[in-house]
Amino acid sequence: MLKTFKIGGIHPPENKLTSGGKIQKLPVPEQVIIPLGQHIGAPASPVVKKGDAVKAGQLIGQATGFVSANVHSSVSGTVTAVESRPDAAGLLKPCIVIQVEGDEWVPEVDLSEKIERHTDLPKEEIIKAISAAGIVGMGGATFPTQVKLSPPPGSKAEILIINGVECEPYLTADHRIMLERGEEILIGVQLLMKAIEVKKAVIGIENNKRDAIEHLQSLAAGMNGIEICPLKVKYPQGGEKQLIQAITKRAVPSGALPIAVGAVVQNVGTALAVYEAVLKRKPLVERVVTVTGKSVKNPGNFLCRIGTPIAEVIKAAGGPPEDTAKVIGGGPMMGRAIFNIDSPLMKGSSGILLLNEKEGERKPCKNCIRCTKCVSVCPMGLEPYLLMKLSQYNLLERMEEEKVMDCIECGSCSFTCPADRPLLDYIRLGKARTGMMIRNRKK
C-alpha cells in the first residue's frame, strides 16, 4: 500500500510526454534579461550598472533584507540596461539586461563534470554558500532556501523531506534530473541534512516514476539516513503539507509552517542547486525547464540559463505550433498563462506548456448545483463553493473563519467542478484580500 495524503485529491491525465528524452543543453542566447525579483520577498538591488562587463556566475543583484536572494549573471557580456522590463504577466519589473559575448565564467566556479563528495562541512559554511548562491525553492514557490534552513528559535527540525513528486501533469524536469543527476542530488541532500542537523531524509517520489525510484534507491543504498519513499499517484501529492502528511503521517496545523511538526521540505532541484553551490561554487544561474504540449514538435527538457527569453526556449522545442492558443508558465494545474513570451525564464520556471484552443479553453460558468465535488476533492478540507460565494460578496471575516488562508491554490476544485465554475480564481482573490486584511490588523 503506497503512502498518500488523507483527504481529497484528484487524478488529472498525466500527459508526461517528455519523460523519455535526455536533458538537452540550450545554447546561450544573444541577450538575457535577468529580473531582480525572482523570489518571494524583497527584490535584490542591482550592483552593476550600464556598460559594465560581467562574467557568468558574477553577482549582479544583492539580496536586500532577510527574505531575499542574490541574483547572478547567467552569461558573460556587457550590461546594456538596468531598467524595468515587462514580466510574463506584462507588468514592469526591475531587470538587468545583458548582451552576451562569449561564455566566460568567474574563475572560482568548477565547471568540470567530476563529482565532489566531501560533504563534511560545518553547518554555517553550507548555509552561507547557499545564501551567497541565491538559491530559492526550485519547485515554483521560489522561497529563499537559506531562510527555510534557519528554523525560528525554539523549533527543531527532525526530518528532511525532499520533494521529487512532480505531481503536475506534463512536467518532467524533476524526473529527468533525478535520473541524470541522481548522485549529485543525493550529495546535495546530505549537505541539506548537515545544514539543518537532522539524521533522516526521505525523498518522496510518485509511483509513476519507477525508473527514478529504483535509480535513487540503488544510489542511496550506501548512504546513511536517506530513504526513498514511493508515493501514490494523486494530485496534489507534491503540495508541501500533503507530502509531509503522506510521509510522516503528521498534519501541519492550520496557519503553521512545516517546522511545527519538525519537517523541512526541499525540492530535488533545490538539492541539486545546493550541491552545485556548495561543492562546485556555482551560483543558481541555470535550471532545467520542460517545454511541452501535445502539438509541440520536439518537446523535451532543456537546461537553460536564467534570463533566456521564453520565446527562445520554445524555438528550441521546434517553435510554437500553429494551433497554439495559450502558453502556460509551469504546469497545467497551477501554472499561469504567459502574456509576453519575450519575458525571461526565472529561477522558479519549471515548465512551459503550449496548449491549443481546445485544451486551453475555459468553459462558460454555470450555476452551482451543490454537488459538493469540490469539497470532496479539496486536499485542505475546505469548502470551495462557499469560499467562492464569500469572495464574490467580499465577506473577508467570514472567509477567514472558513480558513481561506489554508488554501494551497492547487486548483483541484476548479478541475473537478461539473459546472465549470472559476472557483480557484475567486478564492485566490479572496485569499489575497483576506491576507491583506490580516496584515493590516497586525500593524
Partner 1 sequence: MNTIVITIIALCAIGIISAIILYFVAQKFKVEEDPRIDIVEGLLPGANCGGCGYPGCRGLAEAAVKADSLDNILCPVGGAESMKKIAAALGREVVEQAPKIAVVKCNGSCENRPRLNRYDGARSCAIEHSLYIGDTACAYGCLGCGDCVAACPFDAIHMSPATGLPEVSDEKCVACGACVKACPRNIIELRNKGPKDRRVFVSCVNKDKGAVARKACKVACIGCMKCAKECPFEAITVENNLAYIDYNKCRLCRKCVTVCPTGAIHEVNFPPRKVNPETPKTTVTANAKPAPVSQPVSSVPGNSETGEKKETV
Annotated binding site: 368, 371, 374, 378, 407, 410, 413, 417
The C-alpha atoms of residue 293 and residue 351 are separated, in whole angstroms, by 10
Applying CB under 8 A, the span of 55-63, 260-268, 316-324, 335-343 interacting with partner 1 comes to: 335-343
Applying CB under 8 A, the span of 90-98, 119-127, 208-216, 244-252 interacting with partner 1 comes to: 90-98
Q: Which of 53, 92, 405, 437 binds partner 1 (CB under 8 A)?
A: 92
Distances (CA, A) of 336 to 55, 67, 180, 226: 32, 24, 28, 34
Applying CB under 8 A, the span of 36-44, 87-95, 197-205, 344-352 interacting with partner 1 comes to: 87-95
395 binds partner 1 (CB under 8 A): no
Residue type, 164: G
β-sheet with 336-337: strand ranges across = 24-25, 300-305, 286-292, 351-356, 324-329, 336-337
Q: Which of 432, 436, 437, 438 binds partner 1 (CB under 8 A)?
A: 432
Q: Of 93 and 176, which has the nearer Cβ to partner 1?
A: 93
Q: Which of 339, 389, 419, 435 binds partner 1 (CB under 8 A)?
A: 339
336 binds partner 1 (CB under 8 A): yes
Question: Do residues 182 and 220 touch, judged by C-beta distance below 8 A?
Answer: no
Applying CB under 8 A, the span of 8-16, 22-30, 89-97, 246-254 interacting with partner 1 comes to: 89-97
Count Cα atoms within 13 angstroms, Cβ side, for 189: 31
Task: Give me the least distance between CB of 362 and partner 1, in Å please.
Answer: 5
Distances (CA, A) of 116 to 119, 153, 195, 275: 8, 33, 17, 9
361 binds partner 1 (CB under 8 A): yes
Task: Give me the least distance between CB of 44 and partner 1, in Å please.
Answer: 23
435 binds partner 1 (CB under 8 A): no
Residue type, 165: V
Q: What is the DSSP string of 305-335?
A: ETT-BHHHHHHHTT---TTEEEEEES-TTT-
Q: What is the DSSP string of 135-152?
A: -B-TTTT--BHHHHHSPP
Q: Which of 2, 53, 89, 371 binds partner 1 (CB under 8 A)?
A: 89
> What is the DSSP secondary structure assignment for residue 405, as one 8-state letter?
G
The C-alpha atoms of residue 213 and residue 6 are separated, in whole angstroms, by 22
Q: How many residues bind partner 1 (CB under 8 A)?
A: 18
Q: Of 29 and 329, which has the nearer Cβ to partner 1?
A: 329
91 binds partner 1 (CB under 8 A): yes
365 binds partner 1 (CB under 8 A): yes
Task: Give me the least distance between CB of 363 and partner 1, in Å please.
Answer: 10
Question: Do residues 320 and 340 touch, judged by C-beta distance below 8 A?
Answer: no
Annotation: binding site for [4Fe-4S] cluster: 368, 371, 374, 378, 407, 410, 413, 417
Q: Which of 116, 383, 406, 425 binds partner 1 (CB under 8 A)?
A: 425
Applying CB under 8 A, the span of 45-53, 69-77, 101-109, 361-369 interacting with partner 1 comes to: 361-369
362 binds partner 1 (CB under 8 A): yes
Residue 32: closest CA among 351, 309, 282, 288: 309
86 binds partner 1 (CB under 8 A): yes
Q: E strands, 36-188, where?
A: 45-46, 53-54, 59-62, 71-72, 77-86, 92-100, 159-163
Helices 182-196 and 210-220 cross at an angle (nearest 10°) of: 60
Task: Give me the least distance between CB of 1 and partner 1, in Å please.
Answer: 39
The C-alpha atoms of residue 354 and residue 337 are separated, in whole angstroms, by 10
**Residues within the interface to partner 1 (CB under 8 A):** 86, 88-92, 336-337, 339, 361-362, 365, 422, 425-426, 428-429, 432
